[in-house]
Amino acid sequence: MTPDLTLDSRPVAGILWMLAAGLCFVVMTALVKSMGQGMHPIQSAFLRYLFGIVFLLPALRQILSARLTRRHWTIFGVRGAIHSVGVMLWFFAMTQIPLAEVTAMNYLTPVYVSLGAALFLGEKLAARRITAIFVALVGAAIILRPGFREVSPGHLAMLGTTLTLGGSYLLAKVAVDDLSPAVVVAHLSVWVTVAMIPFAVAVWQTPTWHQVAVLFTIACFATAGHYFMTLALKAAPVAVTQPVTFLQLIWATLLGALVFGEGIDPWVIAGGTLILASVSFITWREAVLKRRQITPPSIAPKL
């Protein structure tokens, strides 16, 4: 049994848009990596989000006209605080561990979302989903290999990143029930920027024009990636487009090896493949059973 394709579905277009989104996200990640130790990762994270606010201007009227309740403000505030922690951890991890490991471990986020949806939102956790989650955790263990190699602060930071971003997406799932996605995304950008101000001030060093240019470029690629991802999801079902995100791991591995001189670790590829396979299975089952989606439509790094 296969997921239904609507009359308007364009699988090839969806796959191509998702390929473009994946390339944007990998380039964004590589640019963050290129910043190296030249700027504190917290300051880098803050400036990336600050520059990203520029891209909210086209939706400004829709943002200001949204009717927000106290519940919405609470959700946005909590989500902004949680997401800002995840973003800072991710920028730190980028300075500590290879690109391929960051990309592979990032695939864990939808797994945490699936668990959180069952624990906090009352979603059903069927046996197949439990098995898929277990397989994903095995994949994470293969990547980390505790006891066989040192688990660095970068690895722990990535575990924290995926956990906090998972919590952020669960809150987004609640918010989009009665607000437009544009409003939810816009408030995330603003709240994360505000939440990181005191942390950025504590480590602030005047950036060079080169660093400013690189960070603005990062914001551009991140925005383009989200836009292309949206086009992909409009063109084809999630079950069609999500497996394409596996290429991000391949591209990240090649970039790490060719540009940053990082070794190619087959254990990381194997673990990342297991995690992605489990997430893709969860998404496919949701499409087959025509349930309301739990797993985020893309496992690209939404940073």
Distance CA 282, CA 99 (A): 25
Q: What is the SS3 assignment for 94?
A: helix
Amino acid at residue number 22: G
* Dihedral (Cα; 54, 55, 57, 63), 10-degree rounding: -120
Confidence of residue 1 (pLDDT cuts 50, 70, 90): very low
Tens-digit pLDDT profile for residues 76-126: 999 999 999 999 999 999 999 999 999 899 888 888 887 887 888 777 777
* In the predicted structure, residue 55 carries a pLDDT above the cut 60: yes
DSSP letter (8 states) at residue 236: S
Radius of gyration of the CA atoms of the chain, in A: 19
What is the pLDDT, as a whole number, of residue 170?
87
pLDDT score, position 286:
64
User: What value, to the nearest 5°, has the Cα angle with vertex 92 and ends 42 and 95?
Assistant: 120
| pLDDT tier at 155, thresholds 50, 70, 90 | very high
Neighbours of 176 (CB within 10 A): 13
Q: Angle at the Cα of 216 (from 31 to 102), degrees rounded to 5?
A: 30
Least confident of 42-56, 68-82, 106-120, 210-224: 106-120
Q: What percent of the chain has pLDDT over 70?
A: 88
Which of 6-20, 67-81, 265-279 bottoms out in mean pLDDT, i.e. has the lowest?
A: 6-20
pLDDT band of residue 64 (cuts 50, 70, 90) is confident
User: Quick one: CA torsion of 108, 243, 278, 303, rounded to 10 degrees?
Assistant: 10
* CB atoms inside a 10 Å sphere around CB 115: 20
Query: What pLDDT does residue 181 have?
Result: 77
Mean pLDDT within 191-218: 95
If we measure between CA atoms, which residue out of 294, 69, 60 comes closest to residue 189?
Answer: 60
In the predicted structure, residue 294 carries a pLDDT above the cut 70: no
Q: What is the pLDDT of residue 290?
A: 57
Q: What are the CA-CA distances from residue 180 to residues 73, 172, 173, 223, 252 (Å)? A: 15, 11, 11, 18, 32
Residues 219-278: tens digit of each pLDDT: 999 888 888 877 886 777 666 776 777 788 888 999 999 888 888 899 999 998 998 888
Distance CA 59, CA 52 (A): 13
Distance of alpha carbon 251 from alpha carbon 242, whole angstroms: 16
Choice between 122 and 189, residue whose per-residue pLDDT is larger: 189
Chain-centre distance for alpha carbon 156: 17
